[in-house]
Chain A
Amino acid sequence: MAYLFNTPDDIRSMLEAIGAESIEELFEQVPDHLQVEGLLDLPVGFSEPELEMHLRKLAAANCGGSSRVCLMGGGVYDHFIPAAVDEVASRGEFYTAYTPYQAEASQGSLQAFFEFQTLVCQLTGMEVSNASLYEGGTAVSEAVFMAMRVTKRYNRVVVLGSLHPEYQEVLETYLGNLSCQLDVIATPDGAADVNIVADTLDEETSCLVIQHPNVFGALEELEPLCQAAHDVGALAIVSFDPLSLGLLKTPAECGADIAVAEGQSLGIPAQYGGPFLGILACRQAHVRQMPGRLIGQTVDRNGQRCFVLNLQAREQHIRREKATSNICTNQGLLAIRATVYLSLLGRQGLVDVAELCCRKSHYAAERLGELPGFELMFSRPFFKEFTLRVQGDATEVINRAAEAGFDLGPALGRFPRLRESLGEAADQTLLVAVTEQRTREEIDRLVESLAATSEDSATPQTLTKPA
C-alpha cells in the first residue's frame, strides 16, 4: 500500500501496546451504521509508472504555452521564469514546512517572508506589506474590507468598470450578504473619466478601486483618481501589475492608500489559474487593519536577530469573528517564488523586463492595428497588453491564430461585466499581451498569418470544437 510504513509485525505489537484487538476496535466511536460498508466507489490505485502515464495522457490533451506561442493576457502572463526560482521552490525544507508558528523551527521561511515584505515595499513605495493573500481578486476584496474598517464607512464602495471582471465578481460575492452598496463606473473610453468619478464619489464612500494598467491594458489617470478619492475622505485602492513598476510611477507616488496585485508575473507559472499570489501593501498608519500574516523582526534570548509572526492579534486564531480577515492558509510558497524572482531580477532587471514588454507590445499593436479589419479599440497609453477590435467575432480571430500556432485572448465578449464599457463592440474585442518572451519574428509571423487568413475570410474556417 502506498505511503504506509508499518509491517504486519509492527501493527501487531502496536495494537498490543494500545490494548486493542484490531484497528476496527479503534473506530468504535464511529457508530456501526455510519461506517461505510466495503469500499468507496473510487478507482483502483495506480503505481507510480501508471500514474505518470495517465497524467502525461491528460497533459497531452491540453494545448498550453509549450505548443503555441502565447500572447494571452487577462491577468495571467507568459513571463520568463529563471531556473533558480524552481530550484529554490523545490527545496523540501521550504515546500514541506508548515506555517511558521514555531519560530525556532522556521527561521528560513520567516526570513524569506520578511524579505518578501521588504521587496514588495521597495517595488511599490508603500510602507508595509503582508506575507501574501490567495490571489489578485481576493486581494481587492480584502483591501475593500480593510478600507471600510479604516474609514468606518460600511455603506458604499466604488469600483471602476475597468477592473478585471472576475475581480469585480469576487468583490460582489464577498459583499453579498452585507448592507454595502457596490457602484461600478463604466469606462467606455478604455479608462475612467476623472470628472465623472469625482462626481460619483461622496462622503459615504469608503474607497475607490482602480486597476492600473486596467483590464483593457490601458493606463488610468491614477494620480487625479487617487486625489478624487482623498477629496471625499475615501481610500484609494490600486490594483497594479508588479512588472509594470519597472517603468511606471509607483502606487505610493500616485497616492494609493492600499496597493494590491496579482503576483503571477513574478516567477509563477500559469498552471490554469492557480495557485497564484495575492499582494497587499499599505501605509504604516493602517497596519493594524491589515488582513493576513505579517512577519516581524526581533531578537531572541541571546540578543540575536530573528523573525517571528507578528501582530497576530489581528488574525482569526486570536480575534475570531472580529479578525481583520478569515484567511489562515495563505500562498507562502508563491511568496518565496516571487522573492527569489525579484532578487534575481534586481533593480536593472526589473527595468529591462518592463521596457522589453513595453517595446514589443507596442510593436505588435502597431503591426496588428495596420491589418485590414483590425484596429486598437482604445487610444489610451498601455504597458504590455492592449485591446484589439476586429471585424466580426473575436473568437473567430482567436481560432485562426490558434490554427497558425498562436494563442491570443481572452475575447472580452465572455465577460458580461465589461459590456457596459465596450458597448456593441463587446463581441469584437480581444486582449493581446506581449511579454519580454516574444520575438519580432514571432510577432511578424502572427501578423502575416492573420493577414493571410483574413483575406480568405469569406471561406468558412475549419475549426476544432468552438471555444
Chain B
Amino acid sequence: MRNTHATELLFDLSQPGRRAAQFPTSDVPDRPLGDMIPDAFRRASHDHSLPELTESDVIRHFLNLSTLNMSVDTHFYPLGSCTMKYNPKRHERMARLPGMVDLHPYQRICDQQGMLRLLHDMQEMLAEIAGLPAVSLQPAAGAQGELAALLVASAWFRSRGETRTRVIFPSSAHGTNPASAAIAGFECVQLENTSDGLVDLDELETQLDDQTAVFMITNPNTLGLFETQIESIAARVHEVGGLVYIDGANMNAIMGVTRPGDFGGDMMHFNVHKTFTGPHGAGGPGAGPIAVRSELAEFLPGPVVTRITDDDGQPHFELETPSRSIGRVRSFFGNVGILLRGYCYLRTLGREGVREAARHAVLNANYLKALLADLLPAPFGQHCMHEFVGSASNLKDDRGITAMDVAKRLLDFGFHAPTIYFPLVVPEAMMIEPTETESKATLDAFAATLHEIAEEDLEFLHQAPHAAPVSRPNDVQAARQPILLWSPDDDTAEDV
C-alpha cells in the first residue's frame, strides 16, 4: 500500500504554475520596487528557485515520507545512550499555548513574567536534581553544554591566575567531549584502559598534574555501569586543582537517586531531549542546560533568570547576565520550546515520579539483560543501570552472525535496533537501553525475537532487512561520489 509516487523528491513532483501558499494582495499604496530597493540589490531571475506544488502534494509527500521512519510513537526504540522514552502528548499542546509559542524574545520584561517564572523554576528543579546550585539554561544541546562548561572552567582558572591546558576523558567518552575541549582551546588526553569497564584510577593518576583543567566523565558510563570509585576519582582530580565534569547523558538512571554534585562533580550538563523527554525530532532540537558549583556561578553563560521579591512581597523575575560571564553561547535565551517540555515533564513526575522513573529504567534494563544473558552476554558488571552493552561475539564465533546482521534483521520484526559497535571496548557491541516507558510485555517480545533471529539462516541475515523500505545502503559509494542535493539532470538516481 505504499504510495511511491508521493515520496518522489519534491523537485520531481514539481509542476510549473502550481502553488500552495497564497497571500493577500498588497493593501498599501503601490510604488515601483526599484524606488524602494535599487536594481543593483535585486535578483534578476528566479529560474532555479523553489519547486512548485499544491498543498495536497506537500501533505501527501511528507506524510508518506513519515511512514518510512521508525519512531518512539510507533516502535520500541532501545537505542543505547539515547534514552528513547515516550514523549507525552500533553507537552506538545502546552508548547503551543498562545502566550508561549508566540512570545517574542525582546518583549518587555513585564510582558514575559509567566515565561520567566517557568524558566526560573526549571533552573531550580535542575539544580536540585544535579546537586549543583547554579544553572544556565542557554546551551542548545549537550555538546554546547560541554563547551559552555569548559569555557566556564577556563574563565575560573584564569580568575585565579592559572592557565591549565589539559582535559582528560576515558576512551569510552562520547565524541563530543574531545570535540568540545578542542574548541575551548584545550589539549585532549584520553585514558585507554577500562579494566572491569570502569575508569582505571592508576592510569588516571599518571595523567593528573598541575596542567589538568578538567576531567570529563559520563556517569553512569556508556557501558551502563555506575563508576563506583567516582568519589576517589573526583578527590584525586580536586587534589591537583582540577575540576570534574559530569556528562549527564545517562541521568535517566540516577535522577532522584544520587546527584552529580554529591558524588564529586563540579559541573554537568543535562540532555533535556533524553532525560526529560523533549522529543528527539529526528536529530534535534535538544537543550543542554548546565549546572555548576556556586564558585563557578558568576562565569555561567547568560542570561539567567533571577527571582526578586518586590516591596509588596510579590515575586517578579528578571533576566541577568552573571557578573563575570563567559558571554552568550547562542542568540536569545535558549531552546525554550524544549525546556518547556522538560518543565512539564518534571512537574508531572514530581518528586516521587522522578525517582520512580529512574528505578524503573534500571529495572527494565536489568530484566532485558537477564532475558538476553545467554545470547548477548554483557562482559562487565553484575547488574547494570539504565542500559547494558551485550556482545554478539558468541553469535559471530558460533554462527557468523554479526551485531550488524542482528540490528538490521530486528527492523523486519518492527523493532528499532540497539546502538551497535559502541563503545569499542566490547566486541560486537549491542548497547541496549529500553527506558522505563516500556512494559514487560514489550521487553519479552523483543527478547523472544532476538532468540528467533539467532536461529535464522545466515545468508538470509546477511541480506537483512527484508521488509524495510530500503536495505543496506551503499555508504561507500555515497562518500566516494557525494550527491548532496537534487539536480535536474541527475540520472544516477532512477528508482528501480
Contacts and interface: CB of A to CB of B under 8 A. Distances in A.
To the question of whether A and B form a pair in one complex, the answer is yes
Interface string A59-97: 111111111001010111010101010111011111111
A263 interface: no
Contacts of A363: 28-29
A115 B331 contact: no
A271 B474 contact: no
A29 B228 contact: yes
B350 to A, nearest CB: 3
B383 A20 contact: yes
Interface in A103-156: 103-109, 111-115, 117-119, 121-123, 125, 128-129, 131-132, 134-138, 145
B282 A99 contact: yes
Interface residues of B, number: 205
B140 interface: yes
B117 A275 contact: no
7 contacts: A107-B469, A177-B154, A178-B185, A316-B176, A322-B182, A329-B288, A352-B23
A382 B299 CA distance: 38
A305 B493 contact: yes
Contact of A176 (B117, B146, B326, B364): B326
A107 B33 contact: no
B479 A106 contact: no
Interface string A293-332: 1111111111111111011010111111111011111111
B112 A99 contact: no
Contact of B175 (A43, A48, A60, A318): A318
A287 B482 contact: yes
Interface stretch (B79-87, B204-212, B289-297): B79-87
Interface in B302-339: 316, 326-338
A465 B116 CA distance: 15
B102 A66 contact: yes
A166 interface: yes
B92 A90 contact: yes
Interface stretch (B48-56, B236-244, B394-402, B450-458): B48-56
Given A98-B84, A270-B105, A329-B285, 12 more contacts: A31-B228, A51-B347, A59-B97, A61-B117, A72-B104, A170-B327, A174-B329, A273-B336, A274-B140, A300-B471, A328-B175, A348-B19
Given A42-B346, A273-B331, A443-B28, A350 B97 contact: no
A5 B439 contact: yes
B108 A344 contact: no
B103 A271 contact: yes
A20 B366 contact: yes
B37 A2 contact: no
Interface stretch (A195-203, A230-238, A335-343): A335-343
B376 interface: no
Interface string B474-488: 110111001111100
Contacts of A108: 65-69
A122 B263 CA distance: 52
Contact of A331 (B37, B285, B468): B285
A45 interface: yes
Given A269-B101, A301-B471, A295 B484 contact: yes
A349 B20 contact: yes
Contacts of A371: none
A277 B329 CA distance: 15
B372 to A, nearest CB: 11
A56 B188 CA distance: 47
A327 B438 CA distance: 30
A274 B334 contact: yes
B43 A92 contact: no
B478 A72 contact: no
B18 interface: yes
A422 interface: no
Contact of B282 (A4, A319, A333, A358): A333
B445 interface: no
Given A4-B360, A31-B231, A330-B283, A316 B478 contact: no
Is the interface on chain A under 10, 10 to 19, 20 to 34, or 35 or more residues? 35 or more
Contacts of B326: 173, 176
A257 B116 CA distance: 39
Interface string B83-97: 011111010111111
A346 B11 CA distance: 11
Shortest Cβ-Cβ A-B pairs, 10 listed: A45-B350, A273-B332, A92-B73, A61-B114, A333-B281, A332-B283, A177-B185, A59-B99, A467-B108, A273-B105
A30 B226 CA distance: 6
User: Which of A26, A295, A311 has the most chain B CB atoms inside 10 A of its CB?
Assistant: A26
A82 B357 CA distance: 38
Contact of A27 (B48, B362, B407): B362
A108 B468 CA distance: 12
A383 B278 CA distance: 36
A36 B256 CA distance: 7
A75 B331 contact: yes
A185 interface: no
Contact of B285 (A45, A107, A333, A343): A333
A378 interface: no
A382 B290 CA distance: 39
A356 interface: yes
Given A104-B471, A219-B37, A96 B262 contact: no
A22 B366 CA distance: 12
B496 interface: yes
Interface string B356-380: 1101101110110111000000000
Given A72-B104, A271-B95, A300-B473, A345 B37 contact: no
B1 interface: no
B70 interface: yes
A28 interface: yes
A352 B355 CA distance: 53
A34 interface: yes
Nearest to B65: A108
A188 B254 CA distance: 54
Contacts of B201: none
Nearest to A364: B28
Contacts of A439: 27
A316 B179 contact: yes
B178 interface: yes
Contact of A62 (B84, B114, B231): B114
B196 to A, nearest CB: 11
B448 interface: no
Contacts of A96: 71-74, 87, 279-280
Contact of B58 (A18, A39, A55, A343): A343
Given A6-B363, A45-B352, A310 B98 contact: no
A34 B72 CA distance: 33
B10 interface: yes
Nearest to A222: B41
B142 A329 contact: yes
B348 A46 contact: yes
Given A42-B125, A62-B103, A383 B37 contact: yes
A166 B115 contact: no
A23 B154 contact: no
Interface in B167-202: 174-176, 178-186, 188
Nearest to B465: A104
User: Which of B62, B337, B364 has the most chain A CB atoms inside 10 A of its CB?
Assistant: B62
Interface string A155-179: 0000000001011011011101110
A334 B285 contact: yes
A348 B287 CA distance: 36
Nearest to A334: B285
Contact of B263 (A34, A55, A245, A330): A34
B355 A39 contact: yes
Contact of B254 (A17, A30, A112, A441): A30
Given A269-B102, A272-B112, A103 B473 contact: yes
B348 A306 contact: no
Interface in A1-60: 1-6, 10-11, 13-15, 17-20, 23, 25-31, 34-36, 39-48, 51-52, 54-60
